[in-house]
Structure formats: C-alpha cells, structure tokens
Structure 1
Amino acid sequence: MTKPPAIFDPAEASKLFFRHGHTGWLGMKYSAHGDNWVELELPWREDLLGDPERGVLASGPIISLMDMASGMSIWHVKQQMALIATLDLRVDYQRPTRERSSVWGRVECYKTTKSASFVRGIAHDGDADDPVAHVAGVFMTIGPHRNPADAPGNIKSASAAGTGDE
C-alpha cells in the first residue's frame, strides 16, 4: 500500500528549505501563512545591496523571495509538493526599499488548474500599504506525474523542493 503524500505545511517546510541552497544562502525566513497565501522575509544584508550608497536591497534577491513565496503558496493551496516551473513571474517595482530594511513577500495562489497555477502578491519593507513591488505569475506542474508520489523511481524531497540539495 502506497503512503499518501504529507500535507504541505509552509512553516514546517521552511525549516528545511531555508537551511540549504540558494534560499538558505539568502537567509530567507518564514513569516506567516493563511488559507491561500504565504509570507516570507528577506532580511537586510550588506552583501545583498543593489546601491551601496543608499543601503537598499538589490532586485535579484527580492525576485528570488517572491519566486519562493509563490511556489510555497501553490504547494500550500494544493496541500502537497509537486514539481513546478516558473513560466512567468512579472515584477513591477514601485520604489526602492528603505535603507537597511528587510523585505517581506506575501503571495497568494488564487487559481489552480490541472497543469497551471496563478499567483499574485506584493513585496514590502514593513508597510504593506506602501509596496516595493507587485508580482503576478504563472507556474506549471512538470511532467506526467503531477504528484511526486506517483512518479517512478525515487524523487528526493529536497531536490523536489528546489533547494538544490541532493
């Protein structure tokens, strides 16, 4: 008898995701989640600056934050991890981050189909009413085995999570 996949819990999953790989190196942290959204934090670090004179975070780490929050919101809504790929992630910057400020990314998964998931959200630096950026994205479930538990062979959870660890 095949054991059903565990229900995805963003708070628990972040304990693994943020210890390793790119997300671990960036120092991402779990912040909160609701029915269809996940919020993560990207702490300010001097080596992540886009403009050293102003002390604001670069756009690349913020995009990584929003991509990870997007994936986690999808897994949370689907209640399981599945291999996904970012098809489109549009980031509309509204302003630079405040000097020496962390950035929080809150993303909601507002629609899923058999093979696609749609997300939207904001990045902010402490005031969600004054966002740094708005995001909208589309993610695709990869391959014929949309549930990793159904795939032949052994899919390791860390690799499936996109942490880069084997």
Structure 2
Amino acid sequence: MTSPLPPFDPSEASKFFFKHGHTGWLGLKYSAHADNWVELELPWREDLLGEADRAVLASGPIISLMDMASGMSIWQTKGTFTPIATLDLRVDYQRPARECSAVWGRVECYRITRSAAFVRGIAHDGDRADPVAHVAGVFMTIDKDPRQGKVPDASASGSEAGTGDE
C-alpha cells in the first residue's frame, strides 16, 4: 500500500521544479501563493529576447511561465500533486513587457471537475493593474492511472462521464 502524498506547497515544490528541465533553464522563481493561486517570476535575461533590437522578453518564455503557474495553481487548489495535461491555454497579449523587466505570472484555478481544471490569470511586469497578457486555460486532471481502475464511460451521465455536471 502506498502512503498518501504530502500536501502540495508551491514554495517547496518550486525548489525541485525550477532546478531541472525547461523551467530550470528559463530560471523561473517562486513568488507567492494563496489557497487557489500561484505567482511565479520569469527573470529578464538577454538570451530570452524576442527581437535583437529590443530588450523585451519573448512571448515563448512568457507562455511557459503561465503554463507552469497554471499547473501549480491547480495543484495548490487540489492540495496535492497529481498528473495534469494542458488541453488549452489561451494567451491574449495586451502589450509588450517593459524593456529589461522581469515578468510575473499570477494564475488562479477557479473550478475543478472530476476530469478538468479551469484557470485564468495575468502576466505583468510589476504592475498587476497594467498586464502584459491575460490567460485562460483548461487542463485535464488525472487522479489515477486508468489502467488500474474504471475508465469513465462517455455515455454515462454527469460527473461519472467526466463533464463535472452533478
């Protein structure tokens, strides 16, 4: 029998997540969190520029920042780390980030169903009232390995089918 996972703590989890892989290479940093949101920082770096003649962070690293903040907000809301997959992450840019400025991504998880989690948030460069971008996303939540248990029947009603409707 396996023991339950400890409660998810974004500040502690970031110590592992941001040492390795893509998020480690980007240099993401933990900033803050509450019950259903997480804020991360993408520090400004010259090698992350979108255009050689402007000292502005490129959109790709900002999207990665928002994707990671989204996932962490879901785990924070659920209270535990479970596998998730990005189904849709819409990023609406409002303006370029300021030159030589870090960007923070603050994302809240506002609804979780049996098979999906919904998030929204902003990317900003120091002033939350003047966002660089707005994001909205849907993530698939995977609470158990489907090979080990019942796979939801799409013809079933409500939450048994994974729609979240009670």
Shared fold by TM > 0.5? Answer: yes
Q: What is the TM-score normalised by the length of structure 1?
A: 0.86
The one-letter code of the counterpart of 2:72 is M
Question: Is 1:46 aligned to 2:64, yes or no?
Answer: no
How many Å separate the matches in 2 of 1:78 and 1:44? 31
Cα RMSD for the two superposed structures:
1.5
**Cα displacement string for residues 82-133 of structure 1 (whole angstroms, at most 9, x for unaligned residues):** 1111000000000001000000000000000011000000000011000000
Q: Stretches of 4+ moved more than 2 A in 1?
A: none
SS of aligned partner of 1:19: coil
Secondary structure (helix, strand or coil) at the match of 2:32 reads strand
Distance 1:129 1:93, change over 3 A: same
- 2:26 maps to which residue? 26
Determine if contact 1:81/1:147 at 8 Å carries over to the other structure: no
Structure 2 residues without counterparts, runs of 5 or longer: 149-166
Residue ranges of structure 1 left out of the alignment (5+ in a row): 153-166
Counterpart residue number, 1:8: 8
Cα displacement (A) at 1:20: 0.5
TM, length-normalised to structure 2 = 0.86
Quick one: distance in 1 between partners of 2:94 and 2:103?
A: 14
Relative contact order, higher structure (CA 8 A, sep 6+): 1
Task: Tell me the amino acid that sits aligned with residue 64 of structure 2.
Answer: S
* Superposed displacement of residue 147, structure 1: 4.3
TM-aligned CA deviation for residue 2 of structure 1: 3.2
Aligned to 2:68: 68
Asked if structure 2 preserves the Cα contact closer than 8 Å seen for 1:48 and 1:58, the reply is yes
Structure 2 counterpart of 1:37: 37
Number of paired residues? 148
Aligned: 1:90 with 2:90: yes
Shift of the alpha carbon at 1:35?
1.1
Aligned-residue offset at 1:52: 2.1
The residue matched to 1:12 in structure 2 has which SS? helix
Structure 1 window deviating more from structure 2 (99-108 vs 52-61): it is 52-61
Which structure would you say has the larger Rg? Answer: 2
Q: Which letter does structure 2 place at the counterpart of 1:137? A: G
